[in-house]
Every structure is written in structure tokens, then in C-alpha cells.
Structure 1
Amino acid sequence: MAKYDKADLERRMKGAVESLRSDLSGLRTGRANTALLDPITVTVYGANTPLNQVATVSAPEPRMLTVQVWDKSNIGPVEKAIRSAGLGLNPINDGNTLRLPIPDLTEERRKELAKLASQYSEKAKIAIRNVRRDGMDALKTDENKKEISEDERKRLETELQKLTDEQIKAADEVSAQKEKEILGK
């Protein structure tokens, strides 16, 4: 087990919050935004590949996204990945390009998206807690190796818990802001 490294733990926790921000940017509120498709991965050439590595996504108009697939043989898998991503989008395949009309959000769809946002938030909070657990384990190991005293371990555990609480609060704030945006409040 690695030694306790507060800077590394903090970096990992902040990374979880940034990942949440990135995931939430993919949940849009009824207008076209290329970030909507960022979380999508496509199975091509026997591997799961991010959509933006097999196609160009653009928003030519406020309620339309276009996906220009670089290798025409991948249009089918890309279309399938977009349909199954749970975003409520139905690609129109014109042979060369996929057009994605962005539907108006129904109240039901807004609630689904808000629920998805809270699932993303919960995943981020689990990641933050896992980082805390790693830190706690490192502190116990350091104490067992007599590298730090019991008092020092307890002080650092309190510090780590405070950092964890701050990052979970940040994740909650990011999520609440997005849910508010989705529900149009």
C-alpha cells in the first residue's frame, strides 16, 4: 500500500467531481449541444471507442445535431450506440451523416433526465468515498509500520473526512444546479 498522500487523494476526489461535471454536460435541456453525445461509446474494430474518436459531432442549428462518421462502415454501430444511450434521440441516417433532431423535453423526459443526473451524482460520490477509503487504509498502514503515531493518524483521518465532505458537497451542488436546469426551475 502506498504511503498516505493528501495531494493525490485530493486530486482524485476533485477528478470525480470534474468527471461528474463532464457527465452532466451531456444532459441537455432541449437544445442541441455537442457535449450531449460525449458520454457515448461505440463498439468498432472490436473495442469500445468514444464517439468523438470515430466521428465529428456538430450542431448546425439550435435543435439539430449532426454526426459525420469518418469510416462509412461504422455508421450502423454509431447509430445503434446513439439509440441505446438513453438520451431519447432517434438518428436519421442519410447514408453519409446521422442527423439527430433534438425533441422538446416532455415533463416525463425532464424527470428521467433529472433522475439520470442524480445517478451520475451518486456514482461520483461513491468514487469520492472510495478515495477516502484508500486514504484511510494508507493511514492505518503507515501507523502499523510505525511511520506515524496514533494521534497523527486520527488527526489526518479527520482532515481526510473534511476533504471528503467538501468534495461530496461540491458534487451535490453541481448535481442540484443541473437538475434545476433540466426541470426548468
Structure 2
Amino acid sequence: MSDDFILDTDDLTRRMDGAIANLRVEFASLRTGRASASILEPIMVDAYGSQTPINQVGTVNVPESRMVTVNVWDKGLVGKVEKAIRESGLGINPQLNGTIIMLPIPELNEERRTQLTKVAGTYAENGRVSIRNLRRDGMDQIKKAKNDGISEDDQKFWEGEMQGLTNDYIKRIDDQLEIKQAEIMQV
């Protein structure tokens, strides 16, 4: 009946790429002891009546390995940006210098590094779960096609393709986790 079944691997790949991109964003929010503009990405500032990303109210720079600066464009927002950074939970104490907010990045102690590696592991596991859920969606499509009449050989072929795709993305997550954990533990 429908021996010409083709699994939409492009859609599944796009969705799996989205899971990897989400993992990268979560990893970027983890402070590693080295200055990085990406640690400020999740911070939103109450500006002009709405929540605005910090990079849309000022320029974020990394002048030194342990310093991030935010040059706020509107003097009226300096206090709000400082407050948003203070309340972000990053453990960074902002210092004001006119419209420039300086953020010295303190060294991480061993206990905090261990905690951060566990958090990174949790983020990675959430990514793996997302990939497995997408695998399940693909397998459901294959089972539906089997009920619609594709051959058992085609079913096995597509199940193998789906498993190979899943294994590839799980490996990518594991590789990124390994890199992030090494970065966190580096003194």
C-alpha cells in the first residue's frame, strides 16, 4: 500500500538541532570562573515598561580574563541594569563607574566547581531526554506507517536510521558535556 514511506528525518534533525542549541544556551549560562559575555545573556532588565535583554540596553565587553563590563546607553537604566545583575543569582557584585558597570568574576572554589559540573550534567540529561522523546516521535511515525502497510524490511531500515540519528545526537551532547565539565574544573 504505502511502500514508499519516507521518514521526515529533516524535521527530526531540525528539532534535534534545536535541543542541542538549547543545551548550548544552558551551558553558556554556567559561570566557569572565566569572563564571558554569554553569562549575561539570560538576564532581563525592566526597561521602558518591558523585560529587555541586557545586550539591548548596553554594550557587553570582556576587557580582561576576569572582568565583564556593560556600557549602558541610557543613564536612567544604569540602576535597573545593576539591580538585574545583582538579583540574577550569578554571584557577581557589580561596580559602577558612571554608565559603565564593571563585573569582576571571582575565582570558583572546588565545592562550587563540583556543583556546577552536576548542574551541567543535569542540563545534558535534559537534552538527552529531549532527543529520546524525538526518537519516540520518529518511532511512532514508523509504527503508524507499518500499520498502513510498509514492509517489515522498510520498518527495520527506518528504525535503524532513527536509532543512528539518536545515537549521533546523544554523542554530541555527551561530547559537549565533557568539554563543559573540563572547562568548569579548570583552575
Q: Deviations over 1:124-160 (max 9, x none)?
A: 222212322322233334444x263454234312321
Residue matched to 1:91: 94
Q: Does residue 33 of structure 1 match 2:24?
A: no
Residues 9-68 of structure 1: CA distance to partner in whole angstroms, max 9, x if unpaired?
123213322332343244343222212222333444454443222321001222211112
Equivalent residue, structure 1, for 2:114: 111
Q: Which residue of 2 aligns with 1:17?
A: 20
Sequence identity, in percent? 51
Given that 1:4 and 1:142 are in contact with CA atoms closer than 8 Å, whether structure 2 keeps it comes out as no
Cα distance between partner residues in 1 of 2:46 and 2:149: 48
SS in 1 for 2:102: strand
Does 2:174 align with 1:172? yes
Q: CA deviation at 1:101?
A: 0.7
Secondary structure of the corresponding residue to residue 90 of structure 1: coil
CA distance in structure 2 between the aligned counterparts of 1:31 and 1:62, rounded to whole angstroms: 6
Runs (5+) with no aligned partner, structure 1: none
Task: List aligned pairs for 1:1-185, cutoff 5 A.
Answer: 4-45=7-48, 47-144=50-147, 146=148, 148-184=150-186
Structure 1 Cα separation of the partners of residues 50 and 152 of structure 2: 48
**Structure-2-length-normalised TM-score:** 0.79
Q: CA RMSD in A?
A: 2.7
- 2:175 maps to a residue whose letter is E
Instruction: Give me the TM-score of the superposition, normalised by structure 1.
Output: 0.80
Q: Which runs of 5+ in 2 are unaligned?
A: 1-5
Residues 66 and 165 of structure 1: CA distance in aligned 2, closer, same or farther (over 3 Å): same
Q: 1:5 to 1:74 in 2, by over 3 A?
A: farther
Query: Taking structure 1 as reference, are residues 171 and 79 closer, same or farther at Cα in structure 2, changes over 3 Å only?
Result: same
One-letter amino acid of the counterpart of residue 172, structure 2: A
2:143 is paired with a residue whose SS is helix
Deviation at 1:99, TM superposition (A): 1.3
C-alpha separation in 2, matches of 1:147 and 1:43: 56
On the 8 A contact 1:29/1:182 being kept in 2, the answer is yes
C-alpha distance 164-34 of structure 1, shift in aligned 2 (>3 A): same
Q: 1:23–1:39: 8 Å Cα contact kept in structure 2?
A: no
